[in-house]
Copies of this chain bind each other. A is one copy, B any other.
Amino acid sequence: MTRVFNFSPGPATLPEAVLRRAADEMLDWHGCGMSVMEMSHRGKDFMSIFAETESLARELLAVPANYKVLFMQGGALGENAIVPMNLIGRTGKADYVVTGDWSKKSLKEAGKYGAARIAASGDASNFTAIPKQSEWKLDPAASYVHICSNETIGGVEYHWTPDTGSTPLVADMSSNIMSRPIDVSRYGVIYAGAQKNMGPSGVTLVIVRDDLLGHALPITPSAFNYQVQAENESMYNTPPTYAIYIAGLVYQHIKASGGLAAMEKHNAQKAALLYDFLDESRFFTNKVAKADRSLMNVTFWLKDAALDDEFVKGAQARGMVQLKGHRSVGGMRASIYNAMPAEGVKALVAYMKDFEARHA
């Protein structure tokens, strides 16, 4: 068995130790005689897994007591509708800050449920920068302000927390949650698909402040109603049990590795290896404003796009896969979430240097 360095934007690489443990426990979890996949979600074994997973999520993210932690289905794109269904009814309006493809999709979906408007947009920079807060035009009557904290396609990331006053800040953190400490108290709702830093696709972490429960539109499906799920401890419907178990193993791994402060250091070091090289290279370029560069998704372009295929194939031959950029923007993208080891990034930079020397 040879494991590759997998730069996929998501679903993404997972800690090998987590996968080994999942394989070991597949037929018989802790001597209970069954797989986690086979457990009744209301049985004591799964309830203990669930409780530990929720507790670890709370601990790692330092979630205050006045927030609920939910594990839901539907992913971030599901949440694009679920968020307005649950929140926009407060005033009928919502503000969206558009910084790339994901926040564009969020905005579009919200329009089905109320007056969703653009409070700020990165379009002037072709989405290579996060609009400064001084340029945001917030509506004091908005039910919430929505941001995407990291755009995986463009590779831009907030390295600061917006101040939206008394209007709740809602963040799609799918692609940078658990990559560094955050101050949850600055947010009304945080949601994140698991498939970058937390586990397999199919489970969505939702953190919601207590006072935002109970405002759902009447057309909100019960399974996607935050209050219903909060009252039922995420078990109004059968939760995605195995995905939650894997997320729990990932949380254990993060905790054992030093928690989110250690992740932040690890991720900053990995990203610096790539960005420092990109800044000195005459062959590869990154287009993102330095202050807004994503530590999770490093986008770059070759001087000559005709060499893209050769670059990708050469990488693959060296055990580095999924480097092709999103089809909407082209170029390359190295997604280097928590579970990407520094060795993977070093191998990539070494290959890029070599490729440049051969083609410059």
Contact = CB atoms under 8 A, between A and B. Distances in A.
Contact of A222 (B39, B109, B218): B109
Contacts of A73: 73-75, 78, 202, 240
A113 interface: yes
B200 A242 contact: yes
A319 B31 CA distance: 12
Contacts of A76: 237
Most chain B beta-carbon contacts within 10 A, residue among A39, A200, A220:
A200
A115 interface: no
A156 B100 CA distance: 51
A167 interface: no
A218 B112 contact: yes
A201 B13 contact: no
Interface stretch (A16-24, A125-133, A183-191, A287-295): A16-24
A76 B222 CA distance: 12
A316 to B, nearest CB: 10
Given A8-B40, A26-B23, A27-B20, A319 B223 contact: no
Interface string A102-138: 0000000100110000000000000000000000000
Contact of A10 (B6, B193, B238): B238
Interface in A29-56: 32-35, 37-41, 43
A113 B243 contact: no
Contact of A1 (B27, B193, B218): B27
Given A81-B223, A112-B220, A200-B243, 10 more contacts: A4-B33, A6-B38, A11-B38, A33-B319, A37-B199, A201-B240, A201-B242, A219-B219, A240-B240, A242-B246
6 A-B pairs with least C-beta separation: A202-B240, A81-B221, A4-B33, A77-B237, A23-B26, A73-B73
